Every structure is written in structure tokens, then in C-alpha cells.
Amino acid sequence: METTHMEALIGMLTVLGILVLLVLPAVIGIVRDRRIDRQLREAEQGHPEDQKSSSKPTEPSTATWYAEGRRSKKLVSS
């Protein structure tokens, strides 16, 4: 290959590389939005086989317990 061909190839690859860098975030965003939309549709339809359930009831978090305690004290003191 001659020097001019090599420079043209390097220039073309540089332009294509910049194009990929500019388009890649948009493509990632589109894929992410479609995944979220699919998850929302599945949640609206309610697929019980997709949801993990356990027979053991869940305990409320410490923050929930504290907030409920404060709320009940506030109602009593009023």
C-alpha cells in the first residue's frame, strides 16, 4: 500500500471510531429503556412465576419500625 492509501485508511478508521463513540451512548440508552419498558409491562400483567416468594414473612426495616413508632407517639400526644 502506498502512503496515501495508508493515510486514507487511518483517516477512515478514525472517523468510524469517532462515530461509534458518539452513537454508542444512544444505543445503550435505547436498550436500557426497552428493558425497563419490558419489565414494567411484565409487572403490570403480573407473572407470579417470575416473582420470587418465600413462605417466611418479611420483617420491616429499622427505619420503618422507627417511623411507625414516632407516628404512633405523635398521634397519642396530640
pLDDT tens track for 19-77: 999 999 999 999 999 999 999 999 989 865 555 655 666 666 666 766 676 666 655 55
Alpha-carbon gap, residue 13 to 29, rounded angstroms: 25
Report residue 29: phi and psi, to 5°: -65, -40
Let me know: does 50 contact 42? Beta carbons within 8 Å.
yes
1 confidence band (pLDDT: 50, 70, 90): confident
- Regarding pTM above 0.75, the answer is no
Render 2-49 in DSSP notation, one character per residue.
Answer: -HHHHHHHHHHHHHHHHHHHHHHHHHHHHHHHHHHHHHHHHHHHT-TT
